[in-house]
């Protein structure tokens, strides 16, 4: 989620719509944002600082100094620490002050000190909203690079009906999520990730599979989403929870995985195939459970399609294609061969000789090899950290 970890200052002005800010703060805190609230004195008549400090989990600041301790609330520091400032509800009065550089309270002083994006969500009666001076102030704020979250149309506190209603908390939240996503390095990019094992049915109760947990692929899908990509994860059987905000498609066999990957490949800008796909599948799947009879028993197998190589053959110039190689011997040589053979941009090599690397562990030790033959050897790390390393190369190449 684009807002996770962001420091968001909510500047609340004196409007009846201030009550809506309680819900907005809850939504932001739920999205793992850090929320700091500043209020004008007038705002405290409409909603209590206690409500907003409890919901935001941070003290609410109103004055230049704390009345009890006399401690100074450093407006410059508050502004510089913020990733975004959201003035909501923004009254006609505060909008006018912001447009003209007045700073007669902490809220406007923080605004004037800000270097981060400032968004403002007006709330006022329809005639105040329509007034040419308000409209001129809003144009002025837009010309300074401040971002307007447009008011809604509907019933107003005055009983009149028209434009001027504070945007609903969900609308402000969606606006912020979209705004923040635009700033992420992979925003606007579509990513396709494969993960986990595949199970190749032998009969209704048995299959050929492997020990892949899906952890590496899920971590990559999560990281790509954090970086702003629109991610589709094609997962073989795995006990892991589908990552939030990732379009997850569950498949069982290699043939199903190929089918799903081919469907999403066309539109994908970034493709990471980390699944441990079965290389062979039974020629025939018994319709009934196979009974034990003879001492020796064999199953005829045929090769599955190599999904990565199939996609590599179709790859367009602008698409990034990344594969994995799990090797036990001649690691570098084999991985380089796969990189070329499958037409990849880079390959992530796990050596089975490295302790803590490979299947079903929480850690991995990888070497990344690119098309120019550059090799980058990483230390043993958690799979989340390895995913970050892989994704930072993806960001550089995107």
What is the C-alpha to C-alpha distance for residues 339 and 318, in angstroms, rounded to an integer? 17
Site string for ligand CTP, 187-226 (x = CB under 6 A): -------x--------------------------------
Backbone angles phi, psi at 374, to 5 degrees: -70, 135
Comparing CB distances to ligand CTP, the nearer of 55 and 391 is 391
Comparing CB distances to ligand CTP, the nearer of 40 and 194 is 194
Residue matched to tokens 């620490």: 81
What is the C-alpha to C-alpha distance for residues 20 and 27, in angstroms, rounded to an integer? 11
CB 321, min distance to ligand CTP, A:
10
Site string for ligand CTP, 141-180 (x = CB under 6 A): ----------------------------------------
* Structure tokens belonging to residue 224: 């790509």
Stretch that binds ligand CTP, among 59-67, 79-87, 305-313, 352-360 (CB under 6 A): 305-313
What is the C-alpha to C-alpha distance for residues 129 and 156, in angstroms, rounded to an integer? 12
- Non-local (6+) Cβ contacts of 89 within 8 A are 12, 13, 15, 17, 18, 20, 21, 121, 122, 123, 166
Determine, following the binding rule CB under 6 A, whether residue 367 of this chain makes contact with ligand CTP. no
CB 312, min distance to ligand CTP, A:
9
Q: Which of 200, 269, 306, 331 binds ligand CTP (CB under 6 A)?
A: 306
What is the C-alpha to C-alpha distance for residues 208 and 217, in angstroms, rounded to an integer? 21
Comparing CB distances to ligand CTP, the nearer of 94 and 281 is 281
Determine, following the binding rule CB under 6 A, whether residue 307 of this chain makes contact with ligand CTP. yes
Q: Residue 153 half-sphere exposure, CB side, CA atoms within 13 Å?
A: 2
Determine, following the binding rule CB under 6 A, whether residue 321 of this chain makes contact with ligand CTP. no
Cβ count within 10 A of residue 44:
17
Kindly list the distances between the CA atom of residue 182 and the CA atoms of 67, 71, 189, 229, 368, in Å, as whole numbers in the listed order: 40, 38, 11, 10, 29
Torsion angle of the four alpha carbons 205, 211, 216, 221, in this order, in degrees rounded to the nearest 10? -10
Cβ count within 10 A of residue 175:
18
CB 254, min distance to ligand CTP, A:
6
Task: Please report, as residue ranges, which positions from 341 to 360 form the binding site for ligand CTP (by CB under 6 A).
Answer: none
Determine, following the binding rule CB under 6 A, whether residue 120 of this chain makes contact with ligand CTP. no
Comparing CB distances to ligand CTP, the nearer of 202 and 277 is 277
Q: According to DSSP H, which parts of 101-202 are helical?
A: 106-113, 126-130, 132-143, 169-182
Comparing CB distances to ligand CTP, the nearer of 30 and 341 is 341
CB 311, min distance to ligand CTP, A:
8
Cβ count within 10 A of residue 376:
12
Give the interface size with ligand CTP as a residue count (CB under 6 A): 16
Q: Residue 82 half-sphere exposure, CB side, CA atoms within 13 Å?
A: 28
> For this structure, is 73 an active site residue?
no
Q: Which of 6, 189, 336, 338 binds ligand CTP (CB under 6 A)?
A: 338
Contact between 15 and 46 under an 8 Å Cβ cutoff? The reply is yes
CB 325, min distance to ligand CTP, A:
5
Distance of CA 142 to the CA centre of its chain: 28
Determine, following the binding rule CB under 6 A, whether residue 339 of this chain makes contact with ligand CTP. no
* Structure tokens belonging to residue 335: 């991985």
Task: Please report, as residue ranges, which positions from 249 to 278 form the binding site for ligand CTP (by CB under 6 A).
Answer: 254, 273-275, 277
From 210, 259, 334, 343, active-site residue:
210
**Cis ω for the linkage preceding 89 (within 30 of 0):** yes
Q: Which of 203, 279, 385, 389 binds ligand CTP (CB under 6 A)?
A: 279
Determine, following the binding rule CB under 6 A, whether residue 394 of this chain makes contact with ligand CTP. no
CB 284, min distance to ligand CTP, A:
19
Comparing CB distances to ligand CTP, the nearer of 92 and 349 is 349
- Interface positions with ligand CTP (CB under 6 A): 194, 254, 273-275, 277, 279, 304, 306-308, 323-326, 338
- The catalytic residues are 210
């Amino acid at each position: 989620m684009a807002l996770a970890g962001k420091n968001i200052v909510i500047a609340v002005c004196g409007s009846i719509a201030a009550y809506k800010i309680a819900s907005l703060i809850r939504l932001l805190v739920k999205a793992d944002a850090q929320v700091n609230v500043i209020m004008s004195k007038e705002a405290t008549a409409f909603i209590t600082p206690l409500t907003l400090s409890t919901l935001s989990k941070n003290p609410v600041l109103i004055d230049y100094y704390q009345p009890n301790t006399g401690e100074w609330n450093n407006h410059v520091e508050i502004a510089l620490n913020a990733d975004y400032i959201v003035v909501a509800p923004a009254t006609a009065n505060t909008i006018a002050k912001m447009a003209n550089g007045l700073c007669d309270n902490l809220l406007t002083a923080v605004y004037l000190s800000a270097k981060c994006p400032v968004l403002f969500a007006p709330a006022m009666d329809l005639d105040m909203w329509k007034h040419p001076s308000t409209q001129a102030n809003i144009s002025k704020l837009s010309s300074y690079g401040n971002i307007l979250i447009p008011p809604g149309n509907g019933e107003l506190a005055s009983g009149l009906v028209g434009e001027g209603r504070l945007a609903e908390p969900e609308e402000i939240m969606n606006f912020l999520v979209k705004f923040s996503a635009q700033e992420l390095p992979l925003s606007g990019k579509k990513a396709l990730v494969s993960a986990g094992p595949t199970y190749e049915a032998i009969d209704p109760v048995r299959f050929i599979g492997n020990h892949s947990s899906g952890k590496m692929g899920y971590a990559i899908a999560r990281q790509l989403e954090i970086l702003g990509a629109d991610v589709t994860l094609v997962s073989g059987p795995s006990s892991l929870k589908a990552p939030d905000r990732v379009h997850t498609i569950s498949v069982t066999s290699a043939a199903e995985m190929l089918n799903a990957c081919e469907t999403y490949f066309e539109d994908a800008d970034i493709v990471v195939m980390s699944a441990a796909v079965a290389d062979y599948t039974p020629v025939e799947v018994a319709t009934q459970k196979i009974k034990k009879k003879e001492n020796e028993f064999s199953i005829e197998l045929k090769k599955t399609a190599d999904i990565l190589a199939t996609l590599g053959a179709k790859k367009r110039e602008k698409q990034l294609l990344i594969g994995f190689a799990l090797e036990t011997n001649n690691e570098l040589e084999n991985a380089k061969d796969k990189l070329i053979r499958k037409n990849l941009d880079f390959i992530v090599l796990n050596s089975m000789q490295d302790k803590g690397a490979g299947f079903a562990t929480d850690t991995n030790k990888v070497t990344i090899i690119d098309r120019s033959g550059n090799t980058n050897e990483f230390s043993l790390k958690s799979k989340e950290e390895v995913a970050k390393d892989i994704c930072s190369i993806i960001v550089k190449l995107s």
